[in-house]
């Protein structure tokens, strides 16, 4: 599920940037991109919780250290890309 949410978040972010470049309303796509980024992180957390309940320690030790860093980096990138049209709009008004 986290993978699907991640793909939707990437697509929504691309739509957000495309709409901004075309000069159209982009805020719904921005909200969708940020929302699906959050859902990706929550779905990944749920997967890890399932592994803890199943006591699958090898899966946890293999995946969690890498996924933790990856989720942080991708979430920060997603936030920056999704709000960059708003920042550019503010900058151009000054």
Tens of pLDDT along 46-91? 999 999 999 999 989 998 899 889 999 999 999 999 999 999 999 8
pLDDT at 24: 95
Give this prediction's pTM: 0.87
DSSP the chain: -HHHHHHHHHHHHHHHHHHHHHTS--HHHHHHHHHHHHHHHHHHHHHHHHHHHTT-HHHHHHHHHHHHHHHHHHHHHHHHHHHHHHHHHHHHH-
């Amino acid at each position: 599920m986290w993978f699907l949410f991640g793909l939707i978040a990437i697509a929504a972010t691309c739509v957000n940037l495309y709409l901004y470049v075309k000069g159209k309303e982009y805020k719904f796509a921005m909200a969708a991109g940020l929302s699906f980024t959050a859902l990706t992180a929550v779905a990944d957390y749920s997967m890890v919780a399932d592994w803890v309940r199943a006591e699958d320690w090898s899966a946890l030790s293999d995946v969690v250290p890498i996924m933790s860093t990856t989720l942080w980096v991708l979430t920060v990138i997603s936030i920056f890309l999704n709000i960059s049209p708003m920042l550019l709009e503010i900058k151009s008004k000054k």
